[in-house]
Amino acid sequence: METAKIDFESSISKEILMDKIDFLGYRAVVHEDIEIDGEIQKKEFKKLKVRVIVSAFLSLPLLLSMIGHFENNLNFEYLSFLMNPWLQFVLATPIQFWIGASFYKGSFRALRNGGANMDVLVVLGTSAAYFYSVYLTFIFNEKYIHKTANLYYETSSVLITLILFGKLLEHIVKGKSSKAIQSLVNLQPKKANVIREKEIQEIPLLAVRSGDLILVKPGESIPVDGIIEEGSSTIDESMLTGESIPVEKTISNFVYGGSLNQNGTFKFRALKVGKETLLSGIIRAVREAQGTKAPIQRIADQISEIFVPVIVLISVITLCVWYFWILPSTFSVALEKAIAVLVVACPCALGLATPISVLTGSGKAATMGILFRSAEALEILHKVNAIVFDKTGTLTYGKPVLKSLESLNMTKENNLLTLAASAEQNSEHPLSKAIVESAKKKGLVLAIPENFETIPGGGISAIVEGNRILIGTERLFYAKGIELNQELNNLKRIREEEGNTVVHLSVNGIHSAILTLADTLKESTPATIEKLKSLGIEVYMITGDNERTARVISKDCGIERVLAEVLPEKKAMEVKNLKSLGKVVSMVGDGINDAPALAISDLGIAMGTGTDVAMESSDLVIVNGDLNSIVNAITISRKTVYNIRQNFFWALLYNTLGIPIAAAGFLAPWVAGGAMALSSVSVVLNALRLQRD
């Protein structure tokens, strides 16, 4: 079973789509449940396994009968009953038309749609051997016609068995590659403890609704996405984000379905359920990526389009050369050589070269918190030679923190911070929240503010424990008639030159301190930039922030190429300009204002901590927001493409060597079939190395 994502216009019904797919010779089922996929795959694997076992059981007597083709076989008279042509006919027929039915169906679909695939070669080769043997059986109608003519029942039967055995091995390996998805599916608990009408009810996961209050105990998996309303805990999110260190979560923090609660009990409000959860999105993205074709796959498709007709022609030429020139009038030998050419040339390995590597590479990436949204993205990334970073929320945390509070009286700074944070408690401004958070981290006890007032574009004012507090800009202080302390004002300008945001604090009309705030670099940023440069990639920073702040940030993280004060639409224009210089450009961002640039770049990379709009506009999502994952993604992309090229090389080398050897008569058809199956398995095993690298 294969999966496909189909985009279609709303005017087209699912029934019309189904009819069209049915006309093409396929059967389609619409569903969204990944567990259903797993069940269907298990059933198909079981059916294939049964077919291989039955085919091998029926083929073994036919294989033993080959001994009769050799001289000095008197010691094998006890096997003489296997030489009976009618027995061989009975054994070979179900293999040809029941076990091998999938090849006939596949070749019929291909020919009806104007193409030719490996099934066509298998059908031509096995049918030629089978029907020629049937012809000899009915024409000669002798008990031991092997003494006058060679039968090839074993050729068709053993070929089908070997090819199906190869498919069975591929199925096993693909199952291992798909474990990345299955492991994500297994993270979801089957049930959830929902609090309804003040009672705890254990209900199926599918019955959980947005808005439900859910209880999670130590050791339990979180069922859906939501916000903690009561309690706290340490949560393992490694399977979702790739981060091995557990995360501390408390009231107002977001939790994700599929993550593991370690040591606390808490209640949270469900916000995203079913297909809307982060885990469902990850599973969906990986499945879609594994179901798409990389551009490099088109090479294999183009080769296959001309390959099959050429091989059929070579096979016919081989038949004619052997029959009319090498061994005149010996049709059975000529047919054997022609069949060997058809079988050894099956482009199975060529067809597997790309998809099996994409399956393995994208699966490994998913376990590291890296989501390729398509196979094309996985391939393009290895070509990227220029990466443009947005600043806020990408290189930095996107959230201001209080770096310092400086006053003329150092001993009173904690008292001043307590007053400032108490006054700011009712404000929703990011700078206000940073001040309050800093005070709480220091363990300061905040008072309840009175007469709180927000002054648009200026700051806030409030009364705290009888003290009138004013926090804001220089302009606000002038408007309120508060004289600025020259020493503090000079210090403010120095801090601003360093790329910080600075606000003034006055207590009872006296300029008492300045508060310095800034958006800080992510810890991984400098190292990531250095690694990208070592990979030969040019790094740019583009931001709507002011030139001064941009220069300070770029210096700290090691980026020389900087564009500041750029509007969202201009970001896209700058990316377009880089592309016009012949560069393969990737844009990394997290906000709505980055969406146009993400969309126009060769490869858009969105941080999973950003907005939904940014993620929808991207080709690659870094779930954990860790910039170092971009380096990991590039490494995976390069290794995957290199692996695909290796697969192409070995597949083409196999065919290049195998076809002339078979045409020259050095390969029996059943040996050719075994070689063909082994070539496919070697390609699959090579792709699996990506899981270990």
Q: Please tell me the distance from the alpha carbon of residue 679 to that of residue 347, in angstroms, as a whole number.
A: 10
Residue type, 557: C
Structural domains in the chain plus CATH codes? 209-272 (2.70.150.10), 370-396+522-637 (3.40.50.1000), 400-518 (3.40.1110.10)
CA distance 456 to 503: 14
Residues with Cβ within 8 Å of 27's Cβ and at least 6 positions away in sequence, in order, are 21
Q: How far is CA 358 from CA 265, 409, 433, in A?
A: 40, 63, 45
656 CB contacts (<8 Å, ≥6 apart)? none
Each residue's pLDDT tens digit, 62-91: 877 765 554 444 455 556 677 788 888 999
Distance in angstroms (rounded) separating the CA atoms of residues 212 and 217: 16
Cα pseudo-dihedral 567, 569, 571, 573, rounded to 10: -130
pTM above 0.85, yes or no: no
Q: How far is CA 678 from CA 157, 567, 649, in A?
A: 17, 57, 15
Residue 375, pLDDT > 50, answer: yes
Strand-pair category, 538-542 with 386-390: parallel
pLDDT band at 683 (very low <50, low <70, confident <90, very high): confident
Q: What confidence tens digit (pLDDT) does each residue in 569-625 have?
A: 688 889 999 999 999 999 998 765 677 788 889 999 988 765 565 566 678 988 888
pLDDT(303) > 50: yes
Strands 510-521 and 538-542: unpaired
- Among residues 119, 390, 590, 619, which one is catalytic? 390
Tell me the per-residue pLDDT of 306-339, one tens digit each, with 9 for 90 and over: 888 888 899 899 999 999 999 887 887 888 888 8
Q: What pLDDT is stored for residue 294 in this prediction?
A: 64
d(C-alpha 342, C-alpha 123), whole Å: 9
Q: Is 390 an annotated catalytic residue?
A: yes
C-alpha span between 657 and 662 (Å, rounded) = 9
pLDDT tens readout for residues 99-148 = 999 989 888 888 887 777 778 877 877 888 788 888 878 876 655 554 44
For residue 490, CA distances in Å to 107, 502, 507, 535 come to 82, 12, 19, 43
- Residue 74: the pLDDT is 45
Distance CA 463, CA 482 (A): 16
pLDDT in tens, 427-464: 888 889 999 999 999 999 999 999 999 887 678 999 99
